[in-house]
Amino acid sequence: MIELTHFQILSGFLFAIGLYGVLARRNAILVLMSIELMLNAVNINLIGYSIFMNASESHRALGHVIIIFVITVAAAELALAIAIILRLYRNKSSINTDDINIMKW
Amino acid sequence: MDSNNTIGLHAAWVIPLLSAAAFLIIVFSMRLVGFFFSDRNKLAMLAPIVSITAILAGFILFWLVLLDVLNFDGGSISMAWLIVGPAEIRWGIFVDKISVAMIGLVTFISLLVQVYSIGYMKGDRHFEWYFAIHALFATAMLTLVLADNLLFLYFAWELVGLGSYLLIGFWWEKRSAAEAAKKAFITTRIGDVCLLIGIILLFRETGTFNISEIFHIAESGEINNAILNSSVLLIFIGAMGKSAQFPFHVWLPDAMEGPTPVSALIHAATMVAAGVYLVARMMPIFELAPEIMLIVMIIGLITFIFAGSMALVMNDIKKILAYSTISHLGLMMLCLGTGGVAAAIFHLIVHGIAKALLFLGAGSLMHSISNETNIWKMGGLRHRMPITAVTFFIGAASLAGLPPLAGFFSKDELLLSVLHDGQYVVFAITLLGVFLSALYMARVAIVPFFGSVPKNLAQSHESGSIIWVPLVILATLSAGVGFLILPLGSTYPGWAEFINPKHHFEIKPWLMILSIILTLIALILGWSIYVKKLVSAKQISQFIPYLHKTILNKYYIDDFYQWVIDKCILTFGRLVALFDRVVINDTVVDGSAISIYLSALKTRVFQTGYLFTYGAAMAIGASGLTILWWVLLD
């Protein structure tokens, strides 16, 4: 039988992998993918609570609503991020995040 | 509104409004009308027409007010202005014998000066503006004499100051004129501030600004004596500033920088009269403070003698007249200090007419001799300018106190009032001042008109009729107005009783003879010095050279003030500026900005620009917050 704990463990794993990807990878596309992974980890966590929480129908539906929002935002964000990365590549011929350090003072 | 209001009372509040309307019309509509006139000179003539119509209408209404006062004893009208807590402040006018006399003087002198100015100011670049400020000035002064409460009076008082500032600095392109205007404004401002404090003190004690209510409360003894004394003193300091009493007299001689008709107006009817009027108006509370009355008397006496001595040695015709004005104002204050309101107001009127005459005469002189003001460079002008000469003589003789001209009667009243006070030392010094004033009047009248004509004045000629007609009118009045002192029939009991029913008309023959003798001695002395050259003025001045030099340098008072301003005030100012620069600007304002800039230089290395640094910071921060939340929650 699948419990809330399983959802949480899966979600935690995915989140940790995502975090590791964001911090450790140097390829901008991979960083982006890791961010997506983190977002989906949160989604899984939310859906788990939505299913197993001891609450009314309408309250539980709230979890689904938030997930749809997250997916929408993630899609929009992805489009923007890909565009930025494309421009970066055009300008610098590289998508290595170590080469992109102009975002300071 | 009061129940006893009559036509005269309603006429009274219209008088200042007319001039105010003239001011607004000239200032705001002249440009509009300009579209319909191609000829600028014709357009410029509209301004005097507007302002003179207003003041002429005021002068006509004055007779209505006068009739009303003679029949019904005046009264007051007011309307609500502000209601603040328990205090109600009202706009109001108060018509009594003093204010009606002042309205007559102000409208009449303003009317003549404005007519004269058409001739005198012809072709000036700011011709319209000149008449606009004249109208404003008249409004302010008329409001001042009519105001029934101190706040309203203070309003008008400040407007008078503004008007004089604008008029003295009328030729502001000239640096000295701008400086003189500034000096007049700042000097009188010291007095104004004191006046305001005095008014506020009275308001705090009585809860009202209304003058008659204040008198009522003061007379019932409900005001703390110390506060009454200090507020009366402060009000007197305000009057000293406006009336150019020692030590605030320095602005008046410098005010000669304005156009000459302006000097006539300021010296005769408006600016300087305001201080004397204020003291006369507030006399009931001055009388409750005998110590302050003594101060008023002493200040008046000092000013009288001290300005008279300066008038005796100046060489500039306008300066002589200016010091003579200060001296006569001192005489009025001296008389007010002895409680002689009727005599002081009478002398104010007589002096106003005579001094307007003298200034307009001096203007006529200067106009025909290319603006020369040094009396020693004039001479023999009585043949060239007979009308100016004769009218000037009448004005000077009136102020010198020669019977039967007006000045003789007013001076006699003043002396009588001083004598009644019983201070014989003061009386003796006053007689000395009377002698001085006759002597300098002889000097200023004789030197330009007698002797031989200097070569450079060969072209001089009599001024046009628009200039001499006002002179003749003023001269006639200056000769005749003195008879107002005498009782005329049953309706008019003589000036003194008209102003204050407790007084009675009286004559002391020995006093009259004494003052006539003094005047005659002075005039004969003047004649023998300046015409017959029997006595050399130079020898007299060399007899006591230090005194002569001191007086010629205006007793070094101007220099002393300049020294105080340069050394004390400016040094203090520099200190304040230094404090501002070093402490406020460099330390507090710039200092905080610089410290943030420097700390930013140190801390900005945390901003690496690498993505993973920011990511790690976010991750650590988020987990830190989570742990914190966890710990705090348990």
pLDDT digits (tens, 9 = 90+) for B268-290: 777 888 889 999 888 888 888 88
Task: Determine contact: A101 vs chain B, CB below 8 A.
Answer: yes
- Looking at beta carbons, which pairs linking B513-517 to residues 24 or more positions away fall under 8 Å? B514/B431, B515/B401, B515/B408, B515/B411, B515/B412, B515/B415, B515/B431, B515/B434, B516/B401, B516/B402, B516/B403, B516/B408
Average pLDDT over residues B471-493: 76
Average pLDDT over residues B451-477: 74
B-interface mutation test, from A17, A22, A98, most B Cβ less than 10 A away = A22
Q: Chain B contacts of A102, Cβ < 8 Å?
A: 609
Percent of all residues in chain B with a pLDDT value above 70, rounded to a whole number: 90
Q: Contact at 8 Å (CB) between B17 and B61?
A: no
pLDDT value for A15: 93
Q: Chain A contacts of B615, Cβ < 8 Å?
A: 22-23
pLDDT value for B234: 92
For the four alpha carbons of B281, B187, B151 and B2, in that order, the dihedral sign comes to: positive
Question: Kind and range of the H or E element at B289?
Answer: none
Q: Chain B contacts of A101, Cβ < 8 Å?
A: 608-610
Average pLDDT over residues B424-450: 83
Average pLDDT over residues B241-267: 84
Find residue B488's DSSP bridge partners.
B492
pLDDT value for B95: 85
Provide the pLDDT confidence category of residue B455 given band limits of 50, 70 and 90: low
* Contact at CB, B615 and A102, closer than 8 angstroms: no
Q: What is the C-alpha to C-alpha distance for residues B616 and B395, in angstroms, rounded to an integer?
A: 99
Provide the pLDDT confidence category of residue B193 given band limits of 50, 70 and 90: very high
Q: Contact at 8 Å (CB) between B466 and B360?
A: no
Dump pLDDT digits (tens) for B352-377. Answer: 888 888 888 888 888 777 777 777 77
Q: Which residue of B has its CA nearest to A32?
A: B611
pLDDT value for A5: 92
Whether pLDDT at B85 is above 70: yes
Q: Chain B contacts of A103, Cβ < 8 Å?
A: 609
Q: Which residue has tokens 């003093």?
A: B98
pLDDT value for B596: 92
Nearest alpha carbon to residue A95 among B611, B605, B614: B611
Q: Contact at 8 Å (CB) between B538 and B434?
A: no
Average pLDDT over residues B392-421: 82
Helical pair B406-421 and B465-480, crossing angle rounded to 10 deg:
40
In chain A, which among 73-92 make CB contacts under 8 A with chain B?
Answer: none
pLDDT value for B3: 42
Top-confidence residue, B430 or B380: B430
What is the distance in angstroms between the Cα of A19 and the nearest Cα belonging to chain B?
Answer: 8
> In whole numbers, what is the pLDDT of chain B averaged over residues?
83
* Contact at CB, B612 and A97, closer than 8 angstroms: yes
pLDDT value for B34: 64
Q: Which residue of A has its CA nearest to B615?
A: A23
pLDDT value for A61: 87
Buried b (16+ CB within 10 A) or exposed e, B195-224: bbbbbbbbbebbebbbbeebbebbeeeebe
* Contact at CB, B610 and A97, closer than 8 angstroms: yes
Whether pLDDT at A72 is above 90: yes
| Of the ranges A5-14, B6-15, B414-423, the best mean pLDDT one | A5-14
SS3 B316: strand
Provide the pLDDT confidence category of residue B579 given band limits of 50, 70 and 90: very high
Q: Which residue of A has its CA nearest to B612?
A: A23
| A:B CB pairs within 8 Å | 26
Q: Chain B contacts of A27, Cβ < 8 Å?
A: none
* Contact at CB, B619 and A101, closer than 8 angstroms: no
Q: Chain B contacts of A97, Cβ < 8 Å?
A: 610-612
* Contact at CB, B612 and A104, closer than 8 angstroms: no
Provide the pLDDT confidence category of residue B624 given band limits of 50, 70 and 90: very high
Q: Contact at 8 Å (CB) between A11 and A42?
A: yes
pLDDT value for B1: 40
Q: Chain B contacts of A100, Cβ < 8 Å?
A: 609, 611
B-interface mutation test, from A17, A23, A42, A100, most B Cβ less than 10 A away = A23
Q: Chain B contacts of A23, Cβ < 8 Å?
A: 612, 615-616, 619
Which tokens is B424 given?
A: 């014989």
Provide the pLDDT confidence category of residue A44 given band limits of 50, 70 and 90: very high
Whether pLDDT at B617 is above 50: yes
**ω into residue B16 within 30 of 0, thus cis?**
no
Query: Cα–chain-centroid distance for residue B521?
Result: 32
Percent of all residues in chain B with a pLDDT value above 90, rounded to a whole number: 8
Provide the pLDDT confidence category of residue B214 given band limits of 50, 70 and 90: confident
In this complex, the residue of B607, B610, B619 whose CB is nearest that of residue A98 is B610
Whether pLDDT at B503 is above 80: no
pLDDT value for B35: 66
Q: Contact at 8 Å (CB) between B437 and B324?
A: yes
pLDDT value for A75: 94
CA angle B351, B355, B357 (to 5 degrees): 125
pLDDT value for B273: 87
Whether pLDDT at B37 is above 70: no
SS3 B225: helix
* Contact at CB, B607 and A100, closer than 8 angstroms: no
Lowest mean pLDDT among A73-77, B16-20, B501-505, B528-532: B501-505
Longest dimension (CA), chain A: 54
In this complex, the residue of B608, B609, B612 whose CB is nearest that of residue A23 is B612
Q: Contact at 8 Å (CB) between B263 and B303?
A: no
Whether pLDDT at B2 is above 60: no
What is the distance in angstroms between the Cα of B594 and the nearest Cα belonging to chain A?
Answer: 17
Task: Determine contact: A105 vs chain B, CB below 8 A.
Answer: yes
Provide the pLDDT confidence category of residue B25 given band limits of 50, 70 and 90: confident
Q: Chain B contacts of A19, Cβ < 8 Å?
A: 619
Which tokens is B16 given?
A: 């200042």
Whether pLDDT at B240 is above 60: yes
Residues in B lying within 8 Å of A, measured between beta carbons: 604, 607-612, 615-616, 619
* Contact at CB, A22 and B615, closer than 8 angstroms: yes
Top-confidence residue, B277 or B79: B277
Q: Chain B contacts of A35, Cβ < 8 Å?
A: none
ipTM: 0.79
Q: Which residue of B has its CA nearest to A27?
A: B611
What is the distance in angstroms between the Cα of B592 and the nearest Cα belonging to chain A?
Answer: 20
Q: What is the C-alpha to C-alpha distance for residues B21 and B23, in angstroms, rounded to an integer?
A: 5
Provide the pLDDT confidence category of residue B470 given band limits of 50, 70 and 90: confident
Task: Indicate yes or no: pTM above 0.80.
Answer: no
Average pLDDT over residues B405-421: 82
> Where along chain A do its domains lie?
27-92
Whether pLDDT at A98 is above 50: yes
pLDDT value for B491: 65
Nearest alpha carbon to residue B118 among B126, B110, B109, B127: B127
Provide the pLDDT confidence category of residue B504 given band limits of 50, 70 and 90: low
